[in-house]
């Protein structure tokens, strides 16, 4: 039953201030000009999918469907020093120089509005606060409900709606300030976490495990052979999956690969880049809410077994507002101690329900 485990959810309205204007001119690249020309021909207005309504949809759903054991908190903004553990100072100086302005940062997906830098530093700071709360024993697990997301942000550049790499900033903080020596980062967003992979590519103290929709799906990286380099060789695990992969495939790889990898690595902190775009109603892949529940229980069990349950999740993508809000709720229920269902192939539950509904019409029994 939910409620027997405590969960801190970190959230701050400041993160709603990141709202890039859709009519801001693109960087004038040849591709952008061509894309714009095509869109004009189709009479279609491009809108920024990573918008403030994502967080408000989740917060409203959680208010309407409260979960016992879940408490809401707000963390402080990340400092320049905290961010500089994973980003270069030249990149940070550029980002901070944009405070109060509107601009495109990367030609296809990432832009800022006047309040974006405050939102981005709050997102990274709330990820840090989530980690601090589990390491300090204030709660059994934590969820940083943040935006802009972070896992595409590289040491030197913004990409794919991401400005600052929130989960990487949180992991580095745990290592430098909280005495954590081995951090496991699980990234279950539908897109490959190229930025997080880059940051810890040669670091044997961070095990990065990423399930994602295979290239050429954005960002195009995350091939199985990308395994890290130098001392970090073998500490990057990429699992590219076909677009139709769903609950059964996810459960299989989390049980048969992640559990033994964690057993070998013995993390003292588990972080999750929790995107909700692998839901069947979102961008790619075919997870259901039940699938999210099962993979949540698997990472929770890993944290219980190796590090006194120290588990913090950080929101990444998720663009269908219904599956985003309900997905976060499903994950929080499990974190709070809720039951997990048995997973069946997609559609079997619906087939069983329909059979039960109709079958009595063909039976002589009352
Ligand atoms: Zn994503």
How far, in Å, is the centroid of ligand 1 from the Cα of 317? Answer: 4
How far, in Å, is the centroid of ligand 1 from the Cα of 366? Answer: 50
List pLDDT tens digits, range 134-151: 999 999 999 999 999 999
Please check whether residue 41 lies inside any domain of the structure.
no
How far, in Å, is the centroid of ligand 1 from the Cα of 318? Answer: 6
Please check whether residue 274 lies inside any domain of the structure.
yes
How far, in Å, is the centroid of ligand 1 from the Cα of 363? Answer: 48
Please check whether residue 37 lies inside any domain of the structure.
no
What value does the CA radius of gyration of the chain take, rounded to a whole number of Å?
A: 21
Strand partners, 211: 239
> For residue 67, what pLDDT is reported?
97
How far, in Å, is the centroid of ligand 1 from the Cα of 62? Answer: 22
> For residue 228, what pLDDT is reported?
98
How far, in Å, is the centroid of ligand 1 from the Cα of 325? Answer: 15
Q: Is residue 293 very low, low, confident or very high in pLDDT (cuts 50, 70, 90)? A: very high
Q: How many domains does the chain have?
A: 1
Give the least confident one: 9-23, 41-55, 113-127, 273-287: 41-55
Q: Is residue 102 very low, low, confident or very high in pLDDT (cuts 50, 70, 90)? A: confident
How far, in Å, is the centroid of ligand 1 from the Cα of 275? Answer: 6
Pairing mode of beta strands 103-106, 70-73 = unpaired
DSSP assignment of 176-214:
HHS----EEEEE-SSS--HHHHHHTTT-TTEEEEEEEEP
> For residue 113, what pLDDT is reported?
86
Judged against a pLDDT cut of 60, whether residue 18 lies above it is answered with yes
> For residue 101, what pLDDT is reported?
85
Q: Is residue 103 very low, low, confident or very high in pLDDT (cuts 50, 70, 90)? A: confident
> For residue 97, what pLDDT is reported?
93
How far, in Å, is the centroid of ligand 1 from the Cα of 17? Answer: 21
Strand partners, 80: none
Q: What are phi and psi of 264, to 5 degrees?
A: -70, -45
Please check whether residue 217 lies inside any domain of the structure.
yes
Long-range contact pairs involving 217-226 (C-beta distance under 8 Å, separation at least 24): 217/190, 217/191, 217/243, 217/284, 218/160, 218/191, 219/152, 219/159, 219/160, 219/191, 219/192, 219/194, 220/192, 221/192, 221/194, 221/197, 222/192, 222/193, 222/194, 222/197, 226/197
Judged against a pLDDT cut of 70, whether residue 171 lies above it is answered with yes
The answer to whether the CB of 251 falls within 8 A of the CB of 311 is no
The CA-CA-CA angle for residues 345, 351, 356, to 5°, reads: 135
Who wins on pLDDT, 20 or 81?
Answer: 81
Please check whether residue 38 lies inside any domain of the structure.
no
Q: What is the mean pLDDT of residues 329-336?
A: 98
- Residues that are catalytic: 152
List pLDDT tens digits, range 211-225: 999 999 999 999 999
Please check whether residue 182 lies inside any domain of the structure.
yes
Please check whether residue 190 lies inside any domain of the structure.
yes
Domain CATH for 207: 3.40.800.20
Q: What are phi and psi of 59, to 5 degrees?
A: -65, -40
Please check whether residue 275 lies inside any domain of the structure.
yes
Domain that holds residue 334: 7-22+54-100+115-357
Q: What is the mean pLDDT of residues 158-175?
A: 96
Who wins on pLDDT, 94 or 102?
Answer: 94
Q: What is the mean pLDDT of residues 59-68?
A: 97
Record the pTM: 0.92
């Amino acid at each position: 039953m939910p409620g027997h485990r405590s969960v801190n959810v970190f959230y701050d309205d400041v993160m709603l201030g990141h709202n890039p204007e859709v009519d801001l001119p693109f960087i004038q690249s040849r591709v952008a000009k061509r894309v714009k020309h095509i869109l004009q021909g189709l009479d279609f207005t491009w809108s920024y999918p990573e918008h403030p309504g994502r967080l408000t949809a989740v917060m409203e759903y959680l208010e309407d469907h409260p979960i016992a054991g879940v408490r809401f908190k707000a963390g402080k903004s990340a400092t320049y020093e905290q961010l500089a553990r994973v980003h270069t100072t030249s990149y940070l100086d550029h980002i901070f120089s944009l405070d109060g302005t509107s601009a495109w940062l990367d030609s296809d997906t990432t832009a800022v509005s006047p309040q974006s830098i405050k939102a981005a530093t709050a997102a990274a700071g709330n990820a840090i606060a989530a980690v601090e709360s589990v390491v300090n024993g204030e709660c059994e697990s934590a969820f940083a409900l943040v935006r802009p997301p972070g896992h595409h942000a590289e040491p030197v550049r913004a990409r794919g709606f991401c400005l600052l790499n929130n989960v990487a900033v949180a992991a580095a903080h745990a290592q430098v300030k909280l005495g954590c020596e081995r951090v496991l980062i699980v990234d279950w967003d539908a897109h490959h976490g190229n930025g997080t992979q880059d940051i810890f590519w040669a670091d044997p103290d961070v095990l990065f495990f990423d399930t994602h929709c295979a290239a050429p799906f954005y960002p195009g990286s995350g091939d199985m052979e990308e395994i890290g380099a130098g001392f970090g060789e073998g500490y990057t695990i990429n699992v590219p999956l076909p677009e139709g992969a769903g609950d059964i495939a996810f459960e299989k790889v989390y049980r048969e690969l992640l559990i033994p990898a964690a057993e070998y690595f013995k993390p003292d902190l588990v972080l999750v880049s929790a995107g909700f775009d692998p839901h069947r109603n979102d961008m790619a892949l075919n997870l259901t809410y039940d699938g999210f529940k099962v993979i949540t229980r698997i990472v929770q069990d890993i944290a219980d077994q190796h590090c006194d349950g120290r588990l913090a999740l950080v929101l990444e993508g998720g663009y269908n507002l219904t599956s985003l809000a309900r997905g976060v709720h499903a994950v929080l229920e499990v974190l709070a101690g809720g039951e997990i269902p048995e997973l069946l192939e997609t559609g079997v539950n619906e087939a069983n329900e329909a059979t039960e509904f109709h079958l009595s019409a063909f039976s002589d029994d009352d």
